[in-house]
Amino acid sequence: MKLYYAANSCALACHIALEEAGADYEAAKLDMRNGDLQRPEYLAINPKGRVPALVTAEGVLTETPAILAFVANAFPGSQLAPLDNDFSFARVHAFNIYLCSTVHVAHAHGYRGYRWADDDTSLADMRQKLPRTMGACFELIETSMLVGPFVMGEAYTICDPYLFTMARYAQWDGVEIERFPKVSEHVRLMLDRPAVRKVLAMHT
């Protein structure tokens, strides 16, 4: 398998999951700032021009929640999701879809506001609101989603590297993560994991 990623991108979550799963994979680093994602060679792999993309024996997968679910299913021995219980697996997926469709999109309004508006004042307004929009997402995660110590409780799952990735975004967006004790403890636990340290070193 081959994971296409970029430094400081959401591909961090899939990268950590592959590492935690003990997968045999190659990591290909792209540079978001110099146009790598728009080059024809990469668009032939992922026409969306985004990372992550995971090339598998069966084809290319995109979208973080889908890649994470694939990794959990492809490496059942790593126990990265409750594969034997449909309801529990759906809850894992629901958490990851919230991060993908709401939290990541809220973050993108600050750095990629040009997707939604052209006017400088509109862009500045969206950027200025980031600490509140991302803060509201993390308030909800803290109070009603993160069981602790890991997202789903005692078991480490594919939700954890994704939450860790979005918590980094929240801090970059001006959210004081210390306001959220469970999220702060989660970040600390993640930073203790060898797989996380190894992958973080490749994402700078």
Ligand X SMILES: N[C@@H](CCC(=O)N[C@@H](CS)C(=O)NCC(=O)O)C(=O)O
Binding site for ligand X (CB under 6 A): 9-10, 32, 37, 49-52, 63-64, 100, 104, 112
How many CA atoms does the CB half-sphere of 33 hold within 13 Å? 2
Assess contact for 158 and 12: CB atoms under 8 A.
Answer: no
Q: Which is closer to ligand X, CB of 41 or CB of 192?
A: 41
Q: Which is closer to ligand X, CB of 32 or CB of 189?
A: 32
Q: Tell me the closest approach of the beta carbon of residue 200 to ligand X, in angstroms.
A: 15
- Strand pairing partners for 24? none
Angle formed by the axes of helices 159-172 and 104-111, nearest 10°: 30
Q: Which is closer to ligand X, CB of 94 or CB of 143?
A: 94
Q: Tell me the closest approach of the beta carbon of residue 181 to ligand X, in angstroms.
A: 27
CA 62 to chain centre: 12
Return the SS3 of 6.
Answer: strand
Q: Tell me the closest approach of the beta carbon of residue 127 to ligand X, in angstroms.
A: 16
Q: Which is closer to ligand X, CB of 114 or CB of 188?
A: 114
Return the SS3 of 55.
Answer: strand
Q: Which is closer to ligand X, CB of 51 or CB of 134?
A: 51
d(CA 195, CA 3): 16
Q: Tell me the closest approach of the beta carbon of residue 154 to ligand X, in angstroms.
A: 27
Q: Which is closer to ligand X, CB of 55 or CB of 79?
A: 55
Q: Tell me the closest approach of the beta carbon of residue 68 to ligand X, in angstroms.
A: 9
- Decide: residue 26, CB within 10 A, 0-12 exposed, 13-18 middle, 19+ buried: exposed
Calculate ∠ Cα 193-65-7, nearest 5°.
55
Assess contact for 166 and 131: CB atoms under 8 A.
Answer: no
Angle formed by the axes of helices 64-74 and 159-172, nearest 10°: 150
Q: Tell me the closest approach of the beta carbon of residue 45 to ligand X, in angstroms.
A: 12
